[in-house]
Chains A and B, each alone.
Chain A
Amino acid sequence: MRYFLRKIGFLLLTVWVAVTLNFVLPRLMPGNPAQAMMAKFAQQGPVSPSQEKALELMLGLPTGSLWSQYWSYLGNIVHFNFGTSYSYFPESVSNVILTALPWTLILVGIVTILQFVVGTLCGVYAAWNRGKKFDSTASVMLSFTAAFPYFWLALALIYFLAYLAKWFPISGGYSGSLHPAFQWSFIASAVYHSILPAITIFATGIGGSLLGMRNNMINTLGEDYILLAKAEGLKNRVVALRYAARNALLPIVTNFAMSLGLVVGGSLLMETVFAYPGMGYLLSTAVSNQDYPLLQALFLCITVSVLVANFIADLISGLLDPRLRRGATTS
């Protein structure tokens, strides 16, 4: 029980740090982001008083004491009131994010799960046949691809498969002649546009999960109970999957939950390269337009989802591994 309380405490602490960081940073910086922002808004058209108020609180126009600003800022966040986006004026930031979120969740989510499953299974295979052909080629190749800046891989794919071979569209999330709707033609177009981004995420992510699983598995294979299981004449497949892989999977659970949490942030640079209408693309739009309200809200969304995912991972590994719980109470 103490273990879970500690984890809840840690979750609350980290969320508070992220929220407060968001409040403090723009106020710390030289120059006044809030005033610059207001001036930009003024050029674009009338801003309603409530929107103006939200903006002031997010970015820190000097009204009232810092303390009261902080409280109203927290209140706004609890109500998901992040003000108005500059790049998508006059949409509210929450609306902009809600439109982008499904794109990222579906594409990056599916590919992350797929990449994890395939990578882990291949990792088991590589560790079981350690030093053989598959293992040595996979580890060398994947350490090389892990070093690729992944937006670069996306660029290379666009050049070869989209520009030269013309197999895939160059950018966007769906064909420009269609409108988002629950129709067959639209869904087909969206799937077609998502193939190249999916390959990019898959190719850059699989190295991590394969090598991680392989190394854990090699450690587990050195344990006595594996030797015993082998000595008992159990089938290789049973020893590999039921005995070794199950235990080697434990530390991986955390990694997996973390990467699921990162899904919300999208594959940031990948989405930028493909102009894919998800969260990552939104973030880079916010950066290039200096759209601080959008930027702050995105940072909060991404961070909170990572923190929650991390919390869930802690809970799961605590449930699966009693040693963790005991370790927490003794130390």
Chain B
Amino acid sequence: MKLDSLNSESFVNGASTTTGLSSAKAEEAKQAGAFRIVWSNRKARFGIIVLAIFVFIAIFGPWLAPYSISDTHFPTSMGPSAAHWLGTTQTGQDVLTQLLCGARVSMFVGFLSGAIVIAIALTIGFVAGYFGGWVDDVLSMLMNVMLVLPGLPLMILIASYIPSHGIWEIILVMSLTGWAFGGRTLRAQMLTLSRRDYVIAARFAGESPLRIIFREILPNSLSYIIANFFGAVTGAILAEAGLEFLGLGNPSITSWGTMIYWAQNGDALLEGQWAWVLAPGLCIALVASSLTFINFGIDAVANPRLQED
């Protein structure tokens, strides 16, 4: 019985790889179908729209801004007004301009760190899950240790020893400390997938591990990987804001986190400048929650029971 199903699987598998063209088309159709499922989820649709707006701002921010980012000749510490919708800073900069230009840095750091984190998690998780044995033991131990060390304090410790503070240092610190969670879930995913019949069949057919991982397993766990990626970006955007708020970023680079840092240092709230403090935080919250909402839709692709009509 077992052998039977194995044979048929390997046969199907062989057939689909020989007719490469049609399988590529089928995959395309599958991907379009997946997007439709995500889109049909109301929460995910909301998330995609919000995220698209912020990506647009991140790219075109400096052109959308009403003033130049280096313009510091405005009256200082003003509340919101017609000329300055979100007020001005202590050093006479327009807050709205900072907000629009800062989007680029915040989103760039968040997405790049998320990508690095997921790349590390993917490599370690898949290697551990695929090869098993002592490789798995060592890597799992490493992941478990990283996982129980408290994240934010560890990031703070490392960041405060680095003599210079900037975007790249923040990305480095977050990539070093953030991968363990994704690594563990992707390892678990790998463990279940690598026991599936079609993977065993591919092994028996003499395929190389790399080919099996990239052609058989990766496409089938894409939704997990994307969900983990969005999770990692959310974590990175929040951690970035936290580190910058503590003064561990480069305060002369305008991002949402450093805006709050300056606002807090300038006692903005006690001067009644609510917009200066609240606007960047709201942007962070919107981007982070848009990713969470998209993940609801992606979950629905992986788990049909969660699909909405």
A155 at the interface (CB under 8 A from B): yes
**CB-CB < 8 A to A22: which residues of B?**
157
**CB-CB < 8 A to A283: which residues of B?**
153, 156
What is the total number of residues of chain A having a CB less than 8 Å from a CB of chain B? Answer: 50
**CB-CB < 8 A to B153: which residues of A?**
265, 268, 283, 298-299, 302-303
- In the assembly, what is the distance between CA of A269 and CA of B272, in Å? 21
B260 at the interface (CB under 8 A from A): yes
- With contacts A30-B163, A144-B289, A149-B238 taken as known, whether A156 is within 8 angstroms of B246 at the C-beta atoms is no
B39 at the interface (CB under 8 A from A): no
Q: In this complex, what residue of A is CB-closest to B269?
A: A159
- In the assembly, what is the distance between CA of A61 and CA of B278, in Å? 44
**CB-CB < 8 A to A272: which residues of B?**
245-246
Report which residue of B153, B277, B289 has the largest number of chain A beta carbons within 10 angstroms of its beta carbon: B153
Report B278 CB to chain A, min CB distance, Å: 6
Q: What 0/1 readout, one digit per residue, does chain B (251-263) give for beta carbons within 8 Å of chain A? A: 0000000001000
Give the interface SS of chain B, mostly helix, strand, loop or mixed. Answer: helix
- Asked whether, in the complex, the Cβ of B149 is within 8 Å of the Cβ of A303, the reply is yes
Q: In this complex, what residue of A is CB-closest to B162?
A: A29
> Which of B154, B163, B238, B289 touches A143 (beta carbons < 8 Å)?
B289
State the 3 A-B residue pairs at the shortest beta-carbon distance, nearest first: A152-B281, A147-B289, A147-B288
- In the assembly, what is the distance between CA of A262 and CA of B260, in Å? 25
**CB-CB < 8 A to A163: which residues of B?**
269-270, 272
B window 265-288: CB within 8 A of A: 269-270, 272, 274, 277-278, 281-282, 284-286, 288
**CB-CB < 8 A to A303: which residues of B?**
149-150, 153-154
Give the interface of A toward B (CB within 8 A). Answer: 10, 13-14, 17-18, 22, 25-26, 28-31, 33, 140, 143-144, 146-149, 151-152, 155-156, 158-159, 163, 170, 261-262, 265, 268-269, 272-273, 283-284, 287-288, 290, 292, 295-296, 298-299, 302-303, 306-307, 310
B79 at the interface (CB under 8 A from A): no
Report B282 CB to chain A, min CB distance, Å: 8
- Asked whether, in the complex, the Cβ of A306 is within 8 Å of the Cβ of B150, the reply is yes
> Which of A18, A28, A140, A295 touches B160 (beta carbons < 8 Å)?
A295
**CB-CB < 8 A to A288: which residues of B?**
246-247
- Asked whether, in the complex, the Cβ of A159 is within 8 Å of the Cβ of B246, the reply is no
**CB-CB < 8 A to B162: which residues of A?**
29
Q: List 5 A-B contacts (CB under 8 A).
A: A25-B157, A149-B285, A155-B277, A163-B269, A306-B149
Instruction: Given contacts A152-B282, A152-B285, A269-B246, list 20 more A-B pairs with CB under 8 A.
Output: A13-B145, A14-B145, A25-B157, A25-B158, A28-B161, A31-B163, A143-B296, A147-B289, A149-B242, A155-B269, A156-B281, A268-B153, A287-B246, A287-B247, A288-B246, A288-B247, A302-B150, A303-B153, A303-B154, A306-B148
- In the assembly, what is the distance between CA of A307 and CA of B144, in Å? 11
- Asked whether, in the complex, the Cβ of B245 is within 8 Å of the Cβ of A159, the reply is no
- In the assembly, what is the distance between CA of A217 and CA of B286, in Å? 29
- Asked whether, in the complex, the Cβ of B292 is within 8 Å of the Cβ of A269, the reply is no
- In the assembly, what is the distance between CA of A28 and CA of B157, in Å? 13
B43 at the interface (CB under 8 A from A): yes
- Asked whether, in the complex, the Cβ of A310 is within 8 Å of the Cβ of B246, the reply is no
Report B99 CB to chain A, min CB distance, Å: 14
B77 at the interface (CB under 8 A from A): no
Give the interface of B toward A (CB within 8 A). Answer: 43, 141, 144-145, 148-150, 152-154, 156-158, 160-163, 234, 238, 241-242, 245-248, 260, 264, 269-270, 272, 274, 277-278, 281-282, 284-286, 288-289, 291-293, 296
**CB-CB < 8 A to A284: which residues of B?**
246
- Asked whether, in the complex, the Cβ of A143 is within 8 Å of the Cβ of B292, the reply is yes
**CB-CB < 8 A to B238: which residues of A?**
147, 149
- Asked whether, in the complex, the Cβ of B148 is within 8 Å of the Cβ of A307, the reply is yes
- Asked whether, in the complex, the Cβ of B242 is within 8 Å of the Cβ of A269, the reply is yes
- Asked whether, in the complex, the Cβ of A265 is within 8 Å of the Cβ of B150, the reply is yes
- Asked whether, in the complex, the Cβ of A159 is within 8 Å of the Cβ of B278, the reply is yes
- In the assembly, what is the distance between CA of A25 and CA of B144, in Å? 20
- Asked whether, in the complex, the Cβ of A33 is within 8 Å of the Cβ of B161, the reply is yes
- Asked whether, in the complex, the Cβ of B161 is within 8 Å of the Cβ of A29, the reply is yes
- Asked whether, in the complex, the Cβ of B163 is within 8 Å of the Cβ of A152, the reply is no
- Asked whether, in the complex, the Cβ of A151 is within 8 Å of the Cβ of B160, the reply is no
- Asked whether, in the complex, the Cβ of A287 is within 8 Å of the Cβ of B149, the reply is no
**CB-CB < 8 A to B264: which residues of A?**
155, 273
- Asked whether, in the complex, the Cβ of A147 is within 8 Å of the Cβ of B234, the reply is yes
- Asked whether, in the complex, the Cβ of A140 is within 8 Å of the Cβ of B43, the reply is yes
- In the assembly, what is the distance between CA of A307 and CA of B146, in Å? 11
Report B288 CB to chain A, min CB distance, Å: 4
- In the assembly, what is the distance between CA of A26 and CA of B161, in Å? 6
- In the assembly, what is the distance between CA of A270 and CA of B168, in Å? 26
- Asked whether, in the complex, the Cβ of A14 is within 8 Å of the Cβ of B149, the reply is yes
**CB-CB < 8 A to B293: which residues of A?**
143
**CB-CB < 8 A to A13: which residues of B?**
141, 145
- Asked whether, in the complex, the Cβ of A152 is within 8 Å of the Cβ of B274, the reply is no
- Asked whether, in the complex, the Cβ of A149 is within 8 Å of the Cβ of B150, the reply is no
- Asked whether, in the complex, the Cβ of B160 is within 8 Å of the Cβ of A14, the reply is no
- In the assembly, what is the distance between CA of A66 and CA of B217, in Å? 46
**CB-CB < 8 A to B269: which residues of A?**
155, 158-159, 163
**CB-CB < 8 A to A143: which residues of B?**
289, 292-293, 296
Q: In this complex, what residue of A is CB-closest to B293?
A: A143
- Asked whether, in the complex, the Cβ of A10 is within 8 Å of the Cβ of B144, the reply is yes
- In the assembly, what is the distance between CA of A130 and CA of B298, in Å? 20
- Asked whether, in the complex, the Cβ of B281 is within 8 Å of the Cβ of A148, the reply is yes
- Asked whether, in the complex, the Cβ of B245 is within 8 Å of the Cβ of A18, the reply is no
Report B299 CB to chain A, min CB distance, Å: 11
Q: In this complex, what residue of B is CB-closest to A33?
A: B161
**CB-CB < 8 A to B291: which residues of A?**
147
Report A171 CB to chain B, min CB distance, Å: 10
